[in-house]
Amino acid sequence: MTALAVETIGLSRRYGRRWALSDVSLGVPEGSVVMLAGRNGSGKSTLLRVLATALRLDHGSARVAGHDVRTERDFVRRKVALLDHHSFHYEALSACENLEIAASFLGCPSDPSLLARVGLEARADDPVSGFSAGMRKRLAIARVLLQDAAIVLLDEPYGELDPPGFELLDRVISELRARAATVIMATHLVERGRALCDRALLLEEGRLAWSGPASEMPTETPSVSAAP
């Protein structure tokens, strides 16, 4: 039986009085590539941020790489890399300096070749403030690769990327699969997700509406009762 990289039981999270996630129970096997689908506001980003320990959960439990996200936050963070809507970079610093800073906190040497891998070698010494949204996303991908994490959470990774960027990301996901990393990717690009992912999770109004093989994911989302 394959061990679970991510397991949640009754996971709930609210913003003020609105429940963004309600009673979400799921399991993601180690080494699998999972698509997280759902409409805008369905809770995809919140779920990824809770699993990455960027947000606390309000009810239920979640274990990531065998560690409780509530009580073993630092252990979880060592195992997880999050590609967020925000790039996590300092705009006044160059791409190279941003990677060096991340490397110094990770305790590993910085790898300038990562910038070449994401197509930013020519802009390595330019401040990030002059980067386009797509270039920032590429730099964020380089940072995720630097982390070399066992579990990679990608929130709308194709957003802002150009077609060569799409191909770059497809290659990155294939490489992550090849080294048996677990990938959970929130995306609206369902056809691309079906082609890349083993499994799919469908969120609707903060609840898990469907889960199964990615190739069988329904186009029309089944209705679920409203979140409390």
Residues that bind another protein (CB under 8 A): 52-56, 73-74, 77-78, 80, 82, 84, 86-93, 97, 101-102, 104-106, 127-128, 136, 143, 147
9 versus 93: smaller Cβ distance to another protein: 93
Which residue, 63 or 199, has its beta carbon nearer to another protein?
Answer: 63
Q: Of the two residues 35 and 82, which places its CB atom closer to another protein in the complex?
A: 82
Smaller CB separation from another protein, 97 or 198: 97
Nearer to another protein, 95 or 200 (CB): 95
CA distance 114 to 140: 11
Q: How far is the CB of 98 from another protein (least distance, A)?
A: 8
In angstroms, what is the minimal distance from the CB of 38 to another protein?
22
Question: Minimum CB separation from another protein for residue 183, in Å?
Answer: 17
Ramachandran category for residue 148: left, alpha or beta (phi over 0 → left; psi -120 to 50 → alpha): left
167 class by beta-carbon count within 10 Å (0-12 exposed, 13-18 middle, 19+ buried): exposed
Q: Whole-number minimum distance, CB 36 to another protein, in Å?
A: 18
- Shortest separation between residue 144's beta carbon and another protein, angstroms: 11
Which tokens go with 170?
A: 């497809």
Q: Give the nearest distance from C-beta 193 to another protein in angstroms.
A: 24
Distance (Å, rounded) from C-alpha 223 to C-alpha 1?
32
Full strand arrangement of the beta sheet holding 151-155: 80-83, 151-155, 182-186, 33-38, 199-204, 207-213
Q: Which amino acid is at 71?
A: T
User: Which residue, 140 or 176, has its beta carbon nearer to another protein?
Assistant: 140
Backbone angles phi, psi at 196, to 5 degrees: -95, -30
* Residue 173: closest CA among 197, 191, 156, 194: 197
Interatomic CA distance for residues 87 and 190, integer angstroms: 23
